[in-house]
Amino acid sequence: MYAILIGVAALWGAATGLLVPRAAYRFSVEPDDAWRDACPAGHALTGPARGWFGSTRCTTCAEVGAAVAVRTAAGPGHSGPGPVEGDEPEPAGDADGAQGPDTAPPPAAPRHSGPRYAPHIVAPVVTALACAVLAAATGARPELAVWLLLAPVGVLLATIDRRVHRLPDQLTLPAAVAAAVLLGLAGLLPEHGGAWLSALLGGAVLGAFYFLLFLINPNGMGFGDVKLALSLGVALGWYGWAVVFAGGFAGFLFGAVYGLGLVVMRRAGRKTGIPFGPFMIAGALLGILFGALAA
């Protein structure tokens, strides 16, 4: 039963992780720009929810690429599979019904799926691994459903922040509300492993701490990080203050190690900004795992 739970959680993570690449592509814009609604070639994205979910291949690019491939395979002077207007039709074949070399049908359109406009492998793999380890640590307790729902959002936020150093309000604020509401529902169920009041206080305290850092050094701490800290604090606070401290400290530790590595490799300077959201999320994941194991 335990192995089945982990397997189902991993499948859930892989399935939801497939929805991350297109959404991340659309959200990964500068603050003053509108969300992307077209592929890099300018073709409108289609699919469910007005193009937010679906493949990271543009169907229009694929059709154009297939048409070009057909014309190239047909040879110069041939603009399509049909005969050119004004030409005399060729005989169907010889007396025995065999088809001559000049009457061979034009080449069939090759399968052409077009290039991808966004990475599509990393997000499902990372989401599947995160969901699997969360299931392994949490077991069949009610809060596992909350972690599995929040995990794809965390991967999406980390992806966006890594690309454009931005954490959209359209994701961070609803995530904080969803974490508080869902954990409140989990607290009503038997055998839960945390406390809802502690979760609310954890969100308030961690959010206030990041807000203080933002006031002290606005250039070093973005306000998006402050909003993200609300939802992470709620999740960490579910398991108590020790987990809030551990998860918050782990995020700073991961970020410091990454920044130091860039400086050592001379890929960044001491004042170079780095996206901090992915490290906050990784630290929170580590804290939740420790809290779930200890609960």
Residues of the chain with pLDDT > 70: what percent?
A: 82
pLDDT tens-digit profile of 88-119?
Answer: 444 444 444 444 444 455 444 444 456 788 88
Structure tokens at 38: 């077209």
Q: What is the pLDDT of residue 146?
A: 98
CB atoms within 10 A of CB 67: 13
Confidence of residue 65 (pLDDT cuts 50, 70, 90): low
Q: What is the pLDDT of residue 199?
A: 98
Q: What is the pLDDT of residue 112?
A: 45
pTM of this structure: 0.84
Confidence of residue 174 (pLDDT cuts 50, 70, 90): very high
